A and B are shown apart, each in its own frame.
Chain A
Amino acid sequence: QQPVQSPQAVILREGEDAVINCSSSKALYSVHWYRQKHGEAPIFLMILLKGGEQKGHDKISASFNEKKQQSSLYLTASQLSYSGTYFCGTETGMGSGTYKYIFGTGTRLKVLA
């Protein structure tokens, strides 16, 4: 039931690109992406609604394929500050009385100088 993220962990050099995927078995209303730095709470990055591509801050963007119930987070020209654990958050059951918010399994990303 919990969305599965891939890869589980990734190590990059500064300037390299990365893609993090979030896959759900349930129909999704929206997907949100968060980043959690070590010792801190997760911070909301961006929201994706059905049919939309949202460009976030810095060089981070994401897409949402509602047919496949998948979302991808794209980190371009990664910076040291991108290091952390990324979570997708998903909304299901909107408007049906069965609303749930479920976080994905998480992806640990480390950017090296």
Chain B
Amino acid sequence: KAGVTQTPRYLIKTRGQQVTLSCSPISGHRSVSWYQQTPGQGLQFLFEYFSETQRNKGNFPGRFSGRQFSNSRSEMNVSTLELGDSALYLCASSEATGPQYFGPGTRLLVL
């Protein structure tokens, strides 16, 4: 099976802009989770979608939002970008529960 794919891989934006990141899970996986990771830091949980519904949410401001489509693909949107949003954004998929399989990530740089 093909692995988790994320697009774009790299992105440069300026403060105040918005951005949409995309994640295609492993075929058959219905859960998609999103994480933010800054250099030397752990995995900061953003949210998880399961069967098109947000099942869990982390402690990020409302500028961060997501959605999941009927084919399990997921998008994450960040509005009004701030310098501190510069990070690696990782998505991970799982069947419904169980181990998570990560995509390569999207590196976002906010100038």
Bound together, the chains give a CA A22 to CA B101 distance in angstroms of 20
Q: Whose C-beta in chain A lies nearest to the C-beta of B96? A: A99
Classify the secondary structure of B's interface with A.
strand
Count of A-B contacts judged by CB separation below 8 Å: 46
Q: How far is the CA of A44 from the CA of B45 in the complex (A)?
A: 17
| Interface residue total, chain B, C-beta cutoff 8 A | 20
Interface string of B6-34 (1 = CB under 8 A from A): 00000000000000000000000000010
Cross-chain contact A91 with B97 (CB below 8 angstroms): yes
* Contact yes or no, B48 A101, CB < 8 A: yes
B48 contact set on A, CB distance < 8 A: 101
A41 with B98: in contact, given A87-B42, A102-B45, A103-B42 (CB under 8 Å)?
no
Complex A-B: 9 CB contacts under 8 Å: A30-B98, A40-B104, A41-B102, A42-B92, A44-B101, A91-B97, A101-B94, A103-B35, A104-B42
Closest 7 CB pairs of A and B: A41-B102, A106-B42, A44-B99, A103-B43, A32-B99, A42-B102, A41-B105
Task: List A residues at the B interface (Cβ < 8 Å).
Answer: 30, 32, 40-44, 47, 87, 89, 91, 94, 99-106
